[in-house]
Structure 1
Amino acid sequence: MANAHTVRHTITAGAPARLVYDLVADLGKWAQHFAPAVHAEVLERGEDGTELVRRWALTGGTTVRCWDARRQLDGNGLRITLDQVDPQAPLESMRATWTFVAQADGTTAVDLTHEFTVRDDEPGPAAAVDRLTDELNERTPAQLAALKETAEEWEDLEPRVISFEDPLFIGGRLEDVYAFLYAADKWPERVPHVAKLEMSEETPGIQFFDMHTHTPDGRDHTTRSVRVCLPAHKIVYKQINLPALLDAHTGHWVFTETPEGVIAHARHTATIKTSALSLLGEGTTVADARKYLRRVLSTNSLQTLRYAQQFAEERLNAVTA
């Protein structure tokens, strides 16, 4: 039987334990507030209260790793446990356990423990253990530091996050709508506000691209994004090189098939950078920036959806003519 190895990291966050727990438990917040996280979702919920979750995260800034885990949430005990499903070699097993303990001074002691075993048939098991331990020691402190910062700044941070979704009905086939939005490298020919786009897709369904766009008020932006494409119902994105006004920007395209066609939803979640408010003019407030972003982001994404609509409906008409 393989020997178990434990790597433990702790941090103290100046925030209530319930808030810190909720930030970790809420998968929907991960991509917005934690730099390596790209996307996470619950695949299924078991009768025993466990969840099968899937997560995608940046590794090295140029690749995305995806893995599944069984997750157990204990809201009363403020404890979260994740057991990886079919972990990659050299791992035989990997369990991560979060605990959140309220302190007398109102802070929270956060403990993140990783317990893992290495496969018995792995050549050089000691070297594998050392490598895995080094990897955990390299990335976990940054993960905990980001959690601490997010929790401690939550009262200021929450008003700076704007999140909204715009739907558009398209009288075409789902596969054509998805194909238009998937082929982002063709947007400069198809979408007027996209001036240039350079895309790579070394792993099917994982796209990185640099995009140059024009906003409705005449501003130009260059951003770098990573996308997770889930045929044919969802495309998730995260900007990893951001416009000057934002600290974070994530979103998705989601497609719902109906008897009449497709409802496409464009979602944005953006975090406003307070130090950059003056870019919109002296005296600009967070409330002003929220209104600006709602208008600009909606305009661009709905414009893209309307061109997807035209593309899909023209294809359908060609087939049925």
Structure 2
Amino acid sequence: MNLEDYKDVWVFIEQQDSHIIDVGLELLGAGRELADKLDVKLCGFILGDHVTEAAKSLYAYGADKVYVIEDPILKDYRTETYMKATGDLVRKYKPEIILYGATANGKDLASAVATEVMTGLTADTTLLDINVEKRLFEASRPAFGGNIMATILCKKHRPQMATVRPKVMKKPDPDWHREGTLELVSEAISLKEDTLRTKVIEIVREAKKAVNLEEADVIVAAGKGIKDEKGFQMVKELADALGASVGASRDIVEAGLCGHDHQVGQTGLTVTPKLYIAIGISGAVQHIVGMQNSDLIIAINNDPDAAIFNAAHVGVVADAFEIVPMLTQAFRTQLAGEEAGGVTADV
């Protein structure tokens, strides 16, 4: 393998029913920085049926070129078809780096492509960088239970590949005046429907969950310090007063106080709310990686040395069982006063 034959940064643009999923746009923002450091093009690639029009929007988010394979056989995601199509693109155009969203389909495709083209893959990365001198992609992720950050290199194989969880990277603001090159890949996929091992019989859409932390603007999160059901109820009451969603650390989920769909962190969700209030959360790396990109982080903990304060914009050293009910009452009074015509309370 001649590593010098490989160039450009690629991003897998995941779509559903011809609508682009946000994580691909987020990765175009991260990919733009990598491509600029390497002085190469940033390229998106999208697979599906009737996706060309959607692909044209990718230039606004930083793409210089977009590769498209349209075929009815690609209408719905299947490992076999998407792996073959992606493998054909990689072998022909030789990208240096490929980024995938760490969604169910993105992770499945990335691992399948790694075996198809015989290269490495770093999963669930949270930091991306380039060693420009050696042209090495530095993909970093928490390791050893989140106690260290491990930077993983793929020195001898190409492309260098990584998956990145949704919301870890910030989606760039679109510039609708940007232009690029739309390269419609017209060669036929050497697969026939009657030879495939899987068939899509029916797609049943799951009703949207009541808990959708990834889209929440305000999150009030509970940690081990809230102790029990009574403490968790206290956190929920504050969230209710603010019209916020409830998050939790792994300790709270494992204690059975809430479901996994509330969990924030390395083994849960990555969130980027405008306001994140951490109550009784110690600040382990596993949790921090899931919320560190929030616009404003307020931490309440009775331990002045708690690691959470290193990530917080505002830290309150206090007993949560004393201050949280006071905050809840103050916010309720504030909101009630606004509804009544402007009578407010000091918070």
Query: Based on CA coordinates, which of the two structures has the bigger radius of gyration?
Result: 2
TM over 0.5: no
Question: TM-score with structure 1 length normalisation?
Answer: 0.30
Point out which structure has higher relative CO (alpha carbons under 8 A, 6+ apart). Answer: 1
Question: TM-score with structure 2 length normalisation?
Answer: 0.28
Q: Larger strand proportion, structure 1 or 2?
A: 1
